[in-house]
Amino acid sequence: MPEHPALAANQNRPASIDALRDQVARLERLGATTQNRPKGPGGSLRPVTLGAAELDRHLPWGGLPRAALHEVAGEGADREEGAAAAGFASLWLARLQDAGPVLWIVRAGCRATIDLHAHGLHQQQLDPKRLILVAAKRDDEALWAMEEGLKAKSLGAVLGEVEKLDLTASRRLQLAAETGGVTAFVLRRWRLMERAMRDAAQPIAAVTRWRVTALPTENEICWQVDLARCRGGRPNTWIMEKAHGSDELRLQLQRGQSNQHAPLSGDLAPLLGGRPLATGTRTN
């Protein structure tokens, strides 16, 4: 099997391959809306980059394509809690906010029971001032709200927390994202673990599918990020870390082993419990 052009190094790539890639992108309709919708400072549909070169380069578009559907899901307990997944999604959303406000559809009964914490998201670089929350009780409400949001061209991105998502529903979202030119994310959040195990592997029409696992760490965040599926690209696994206390986000990306459960490096070994590490901050 010949190596995918995306995996070839960015430098000294033959022009013909570039042309082929453009053609493929056109066929896949990714970025097809470039002409009718100027986005971002460059006025183009440039892909979103995390600023972590290795990850950005691994994606065939040189970043996450806009105007497409992406899936983010937690692993383990986070399938239910959706905390690490929300953090990871925030990183992308924060980089889409220059294109417009972000619509986040949360699973909640009403405004008062939304469990998304804006201060926490703010620490993941998402600007809460450009965040609109919608509480959706059921999946059908969330999917409908997502579709409506994707039609609003002035939004930067739409994220919906969804439990069940089939091929048809995800195709609708992908199509809406393409036509509206708004980037869409589904954050999978299951109520039952058994359901999650069964559902997570079902095929959906997302362009990329990400799995996030929180790993023991002393740092502020440490995730194992799996790119489980990528249209026109290869799955991969990284360890992503963000240092404590620093305001600026520093991502350390390590190319993990190709198997899903990459062992941890030794220096990340957890410390013993019951012993506070850092001196407590007192807000009083």
Partner 1 sequence: MLVETVGPRREVRAADPRAIACGIAPGQGVADAQALVPDLLVLPADPAGDLAALHKLAEWATRFSPLVAPDPNDGLMLDITGCAHLWGPGDNGEEKLLADALQRLRSHGFDVTGAIAGTIGAAWAAARFSQSKQGTIIPAGAVSGALDGLPVQALRIDAATADGLQRLGLRKIGDLYPMKRAGLAQRFGTTLIKRLDQALGCAAETLSPLLPPPEHRIGLGFAEPISAPESLHRVSEILVGRLAKELSAHQRGARMLKLSAYRLDGVVSALTIGTARASAEPRHLFHLIAEKLERIDPGPGIEFMSLAAERTEVVTALQSGMIDMDEAAVSAADLAPLMDRLANRLGAERLARPIPVESHVPERAIKMVAPLQGQKKVQWPKLPPRPTRLLPNPEPIEVMAPVPDDPPITFHWRRIRHRVVWAEGPERVAPEWWRPASPDANESLETRDYYRVQDETGGRYWLYRAGLYQAEKQPRWFLHGVFA
Cα dihedral 191, 193, 198, 199 in deg (nearest 10) = 30
**Is residue 96 part of the contact set for partner 1 (CB under 8 A)?**
no
Closest approach, Cβ 52 to partner 1, in A, equals 16
**Is residue 146 part of the contact set for partner 1 (CB under 8 A)?**
no
Q: Please, are residues 41 and 156 in contact by the beta-carbon 8 Å criterion?
A: no
**What is the 8-class DSSP label of residue 1?**
-
Exactly one of 131, 186, 225, 262 binds partner 1 (CB under 8 A); that residue is 131
Distance CA 135, CA 113 (A): 8
Exactly one of 50, 155, 176, 239 binds partner 1 (CB under 8 A); that residue is 155
**Is residue 84 part of the contact set for partner 1 (CB under 8 A)?**
yes
Distance CA 274, CA 271 (A): 9
Exactly one of 119, 201, 257, 267 binds partner 1 (CB under 8 A); that residue is 119
**Is residue 15 part of the contact set for partner 1 (CB under 8 A)?**
no
**Is residue 65 part of the contact set for partner 1 (CB under 8 A)?**
no
Encoding tokens for residue 233? 């690209």
Exactly one of 54, 56, 81, 139 binds partner 1 (CB under 8 A); that residue is 81
Closest approach, Cβ 122 to partner 1, in A, equals 5
**Is residue 274 part of the contact set for partner 1 (CB under 8 A)?**
yes
Exactly one of 61, 88, 92, 210 binds partner 1 (CB under 8 A); that residue is 88
Closest approach, Cβ 161 to partner 1, in A, equals 11
**Which amino acid is present at 122?**
H
**Is residue 148 part of the contact set for partner 1 (CB under 8 A)?**
yes
Q: Please, are residues 175 and 143 in contact by the beta-carbon 8 Å criterion?
A: no
In the region spanning residues 16 to 35, those forming contacts with partner 1, defined by CB under 8 A, are none
Exactly one of 144, 175, 200, 234 binds partner 1 (CB under 8 A); that residue is 144
**Is residue 163 part of the contact set for partner 1 (CB under 8 A)?**
no
Q: Please, are residues 177 and 67 in contact by the beta-carbon 8 Å criterion?
A: yes
Counting every residue, how long is the chain?
284
Please, what is the angle between helix 139-151 and helix 167-180, to 10°? 20
Exactly one of 11, 257, 259, 281 binds partner 1 (CB under 8 A); that residue is 281
- Work out the angle at residue 204's Cα, subtended by the Cα atoms of residues 202 and 205, and round it to the nearest 5 degrees: 165
In the region spanning residues 225 to 254, those forming contacts with partner 1, defined by CB under 8 A, are 247
Residue closer to partner 1 by CB (options 59, 221) is 221
Q: Please, are residues 143 and 166 in contact by the beta-carbon 8 Å criterion?
A: no
- Work out the angle at residue 45's Cα, subtended by the Cα atoms of residues 162 and 157, and round it to the nearest 5 degrees: 25
Closest approach, Cβ 19 to partner 1, in A, equals 35
